[in-house]
Chain A
Amino acid sequence: MASYLLGISCYYHDSAAVLLEDGIVVGAVQEERFTRKKHDASFPARSISYLLRERGVTLREVRAVVYYEKPFLTFERLIETHLEASPFGLRSFLASMPTWMKEKLFLERLLKRELAQLGAGPVPELKFSEHHLSHASSAFFPSPFADAAVLCADGVGEWATTSAWRGQGADLTPLWEIHFPHSLGLFYSTLTAYLGFKVNSGEYKVMGLAPYGKPRFADRMLENLLQLNSDGSFALNLRYFAFTKELQMFSPALEDLFGRRARRPEELLEPFHMDVAASLQLVLERALIPLARELRRQTSATRLCLAGGVALNCVANSKLLLESGFEDLWIQPSAGDAGGALGAALAYYHLAEKGERRVCHGDAQKGSYLGPSFKAVEIESFLRKNNVPFQKLTQEDMLSETSRYLDEGKIIGWFQGRMEFGPRALGHRSILADARGAELQKTLNLKIKFRESFRPFAPVVLAEDAPEIFEFDRPSPYMLFVAAVRPELRVPLAPADRTKFGIDQLNVVRSTYPAITHVDYSARLQTVSRDRNPILAQLLEVYRQRTQSSVLVNTSFNVRGEPIVCTPEDAYRCFRRTEIDVLVLENFIVTKESLPPSNQSEDWRSEFELD
């Protein structure tokens, strides 16, 4: 009989649940996908219910539930931080203590109560994994490596903000940690807040903003904010950071250092902000590379695994690949705390229960397609119930129709198979478009995603064609690396375009694929192969036959502030509210032209808080 373990992460941000069957991940999903509340931190009741239902098991059959961190250690860190800040940290003390005293200190009881509400019968045993152990396990155990070094970097877990491990077979050994308050994640988040973006979601925007600027503040940051030690470790200068004693991330000293007050949300982005972003990105890379090199020296491992929120920085990942001395790199696609649920369950399975590990070719993450899927009969019944005119096609015809629409410059809402686990849409809940269109980036940003227009879109390309288009020699199935567009595909800039500055550079055509080429010729690459994502690979093949190109724009199927769509209903709603031209739900096609004009007012936009 199969044995089941459940991993959960919740109560901070991005709650999630993961189900293991005999140590193999069979399902993983974030709670926000069901509740439609971005970064939802509540107990993942709906995720757990879905996972059990999908596998046809009850909670009674689950051997243990593993929580992704140790709440008492986090509380210890909180108390010591307040002691360190006293007597100047009253506001922060008052803000954090009531929730701890009411709920988080009694987390074990709270979790058991929540689990009890999910089904009849006894609640499974509750286990706790350390936060960074959860990250490290999520990076190593699903990786394709039998032996690797593991580096985790995030904001903060219990005490650790950065940790190093050695993974061998089914074992994972800790080596060292760097403790709070010294944190690369919090360093990046603090500057993200200074630049007027939201902490925990705006970091990705800052990374997208960086190529517009010049890193002229990098030295100033290294002299004042982040000290890089000769042994590879680092330390923050707390004079500029307020998160240890205030309810905000930075102190007034940071504004003095740059001679500018912080940017307010939605305020105009100026070259100054771009230069700060560029400097921040460079400093992050300068801090990460020595850490990885030190780890390489200590372990002599040739492979590196990464996890923790910092590992979502694909620009830094690519630099690590080039400069850290490791030959290969695998990054957990759900590198943030949602992935902690996966790591917690895997850690318990391999380290506590001594379950064996089979190293998979490719990896054991299954393309990260681990969430809900919908049968044709469910989709058809939804469409009929809502009187939506649709075409029901064979898969071959659906692919050829979609490819035709893409070639005509139409924007496609693409909904196939199991939903992605992790923050990126990897071609199962994606908006797809032709990458050759010069105006497409603007249209997609403003009419479909309703967001700032400086952010680049990611290309999705057939793995076998990728080396001809990008300077990158390996698969990138999880969109966690950037690669430069090959020089022969770049377009020489007109003299007038060369002098453009800041956001004005956005509309300059730089390559034969302008929609995916960032101002520094980089692209956040996703490669697709038939074994991991057969349906998208087939679409790209059909599209290539038609256009001689297998590159498409791939962006997540949602609007700004909304979680990625989960159900056919979510997808249809998003399709109706935006200027997406065609909706493809498995083999069903709905076109905007066939629908009456939408009578929805724009009030729905207030439904989602801007990220």
Chain B
Amino acid sequence: MSLSWIRFRNRHLLTINFSLAAALVLYGIRRDFAWHLLLVVWLLLALRFERMAKFQQLLLVRVGRINSTLILTLFYFLFFAPYGLLYRCFFRKPAFQQRASTFEEKRKIGSFDRPF
């Protein structure tokens, strides 16, 4: 990979991707180009000024975080917690249960070749 491409990618690719995605989403919602001029101005500013690109990056990170929190929360309550009920009934790890001894016999070590 050439250095100029790496530089370009690091500095501008997010800006371009963001503008393209925003343009598509805006068109999808409104079916017109009324707000696209504003998007072009945003794009030019972010390409020109590093601070603007940084701000845009932080904004997207925040939006991403909110998104992932929402998705994970939905996943947690809709799938994970119900499965937790099943887990506690049928597959519960002995260490989570009340026992007279907590020793677990161990006979051999795992292979070094895999991360599990």
A contact set with B: CB distance below 8 Å: 66-67, 70-73, 76, 80, 82-87, 90, 93-94, 97-98, 107-108, 127-130, 133, 159, 163, 174-182, 229-235, 347-348, 351-352
Contact = CB atoms under 8 A, between A and B. Distances in A.
A-B complex: 5 closest residue pairs judged by Cβ atoms: A86-B84, A72-B116, A87-B81, A179-B95, A174-B106
B109 interface: yes
A489 to B, nearest CB: 44
Interface string B44-78: 00000000000000000000000011001100110
A62 to B, nearest CB: 15
A128 B114 CA distance: 6
B100 A229 contact: yes
A163 B106 contact: yes
In the complex, which of the residues B81, B98, B107 has the most CB atoms of chain A within 10 Å of its own CB atom? B81
Interface of B: 68-69, 72-73, 76-77, 80-81, 83-84, 87-88, 92-96, 98-110, 112-116
Given A93-B76, A174-B108, A182-B95, A231 B101 contact: yes
B84 A84 contact: yes
Contacts of B83: 83
Contact of A87 (B84, B95, B96, B109): B84
Given A90-B73, A234-B102, A83 B87 contact: yes
B103 A70 contact: no
A84 B115 contact: no
A160 B104 CA distance: 9
Given A83-B83, A177-B104, 19 more contacts: A66-B112, A71-B116, A72-B116, A80-B87, A90-B73, A90-B76, A90-B77, A93-B80, A94-B73, A98-B68, A159-B95, A175-B105, A176-B105, A179-B93, A179-B95, A179-B104, A229-B102, A230-B100, A352-B112
B80 A82 contact: yes
A72 B115 contact: yes
A179 B102 contact: yes
Contacts of A230: 100
A177 B87 contact: no
Contact of A71 (B101, B104, B109, B115): B115
Contacts of A179: 93-95, 102, 104
A70 to B, nearest CB: 5
Contacts of A128: 112-115
